Amino acid sequence: MKFILGIKKEMTRKYTDDGMVIPVTKIAVSPCVVTQIKTGKDDGYSAMQIGCGNKKNLSKSVQGHLKKLGNFQYLREFRINKEDEEKFKIGDGIAATVFTPGDVVKVTGVSKGKGFQGVVKRHHFHGHPKTHGHKDQLRMSGSIGATGPAHVFKGTKMGGRMGGEQVTVSNLRIIEVDADKQELFIRGAVPGSRGGLIFIVGAGEMELKPIEQEVENKSEENIVVKEGDNQPTEKIIEDVAEEKVENHDDQVKESGDEAKKQTEDNKENSEK
């Protein structure tokens, strides 16, 4: 079994070679990193915890748990086989290329919340006829049971809050995999709104790769050199700064001499 977490973006379309239009949903799956491996010996069951998304502020407990792997907004578990516990390691990354076009997957998400709705929208009741004495009762539910039991049975279809529930859609197909942008295009609609968390599970072997951490190394060879000059930019900046300091000292000295001369002239005028 292979799986990944993703963020739902929007629906778009793809074209086949013969010109057919395929409606697809775009899922962003980067970054997705293994944050914990649970074993049957220590935790009582085998599972893999992976992180997805980006969150600005994390509590200290979560920061200690992630061990500088990243600031993940979502942490979710997937069950794995007992023999695969040593196969995966903390810090491995799950890329979009774990799936290939044509894979059949099962997608899970939280459906859009629609608030309190009536039975026509919530349970697809056809409503009452407009005539034959049905005044102001076009969308009412009608009878809710017999009078004998003197109560409403559990599970009776009535108005209530609709949406906001976990929904799983099976037999969806991967149409395209964008390895550069780390995006999956799944045929049809998937549950949830834009920006919602999506679980994608399919059949096959799971392949993980370590995360490549790029470190910027600043060296003297990377210093920018001005055209027509063999001195690096840092040296030019230092020379300009020294020149400004010297000019400032000269200006202060000239202003002091002028003030001294003005004082002497005032003193002579007062003596006269």
Q: Would the pTM of this model clear 0.75, i.e. be above it?
A: no
Domain around 198: 2-126+158-210
**pLDDT by residue (tens digit) across 66-110?**
888 888 999 999 998 888 888 888 888 888 999 999 999 999 999
Tell me what the mean pLDDT of segment 5-14 comes to. 94
Inside any domain, residue 142: no
SS3 track for the chain:
CEEEEEEEEEEEEEECCCCCEEEEEEEECCCEEEEEEECCCCCCCCEEEEEECCCCCCCHHHHHHHCCCCCCCEEEEEECCHHHCCCCCCCEECCHHHCCCCCEEEEEEECCCCEEECHHHHHCCCCCCCCCCCCCCCCCCCCCCCCCCCCCCCCCCCCEEECCCEEEEEEEEEEEEECCCCEEEEECCCCCCCCCEEEEEECCCCCCEECCCCCCCCCHHHCCECCCCCCEHHHHHHHHHHHHHHHHHHHHHHHHHHHHHHHHHHHHHHHC
What Å distances lie between residue 95 and 156, 199, 213, CA to CA?
Answer: 45, 14, 15
> Facing residues of 184 across strands?
27, 177
Q: Which of 15-24, 134-143, 217-226, 229-238 has the highest mean pLDDT?
A: 15-24
Question: Are residues 206 and 230 part of one domain?
Answer: no
Task: Clarify whether residues 201 and 241 are in a common domain.
Answer: no
- Is 141 part of any domain? no
What percent of the chain stands above pLDDT 70? 76
**Does residue 259 carry a pLDDT above 70?**
no
Query: Both 118 and 234 in a single domain?
Result: no
Same domain, 206 and 166: yes
- CATH number of the CATH domain containing 168: 2.40.30.10
pLDDT exceeds cutoff 80 at 270: no
Bridge partner list, 202: 2, 105
Q: C-alpha distances in angstroms, 234 versus 32, 226, 241, 259?
A: 40, 10, 11, 38
What's the number of domains the chain is made of?
A: 2
Q: Does residue 140 belong to any structural domain of this protein?
A: no
Q: Does the pLDDT of residue 257 top 80, yes or no?
A: no
229 and 206 in a common domain: no
Mean predicted lDDT score pLDDT of the chain: 82
pLDDT at position 26:
96
**What's the mean pLDDT in 179-199?**
93
| Same-domain pairing of 178 and 260 | no
Find the mean pLDDT for residues 158-179.
95
Q: Looking at the structure, do residues 118 and 229 belong to the same domain, yes or no?
A: no
Question: Residue 133: inside a domain, yes or no?
Answer: no
**Which pLDDT does position 83 carry in this prediction?**
84
d(CA 87, CA 2) in angstroms, rounded, equals 13
pLDDT computed for residue 210 by the predictor: 61
Predicted confidence band of residue 242 (pLDDT cuts 50, 70, 90)? low
Q: If pLDDT is split at 50, 70 and 90, which confidence band does 216 have?
A: very low
Interval 147-166: pLDDT, tens: 899 999 999 999 999 999 99
Q: Please indicate, yes or no, if residue 24 is contained in any of the structural domains.
A: yes
* Confidence band, pLDDT 50/70/90 cuts, at residue 260: low
Q: Summarize the confidence of residues 10-23 as an average pLDDT.
A: 93
Q: What percent of the chain has pLDDT over 90?
A: 47
Tens digit of each residue's pLDDT (9 = 90 or more) over 99-118: 999 999 999 999 999 999 99
The yes-or-no verdict on residue 57 having pLDDT over 80 is yes
Cα–Cα distance measured from residue 126 to residue 119, given in angstroms and rounded to the nearest whole number: 9
* Claim to verify: residue 186 and residue 256 sit in the same structural domain: no
Residues 178, 257, single domain; the answer is no
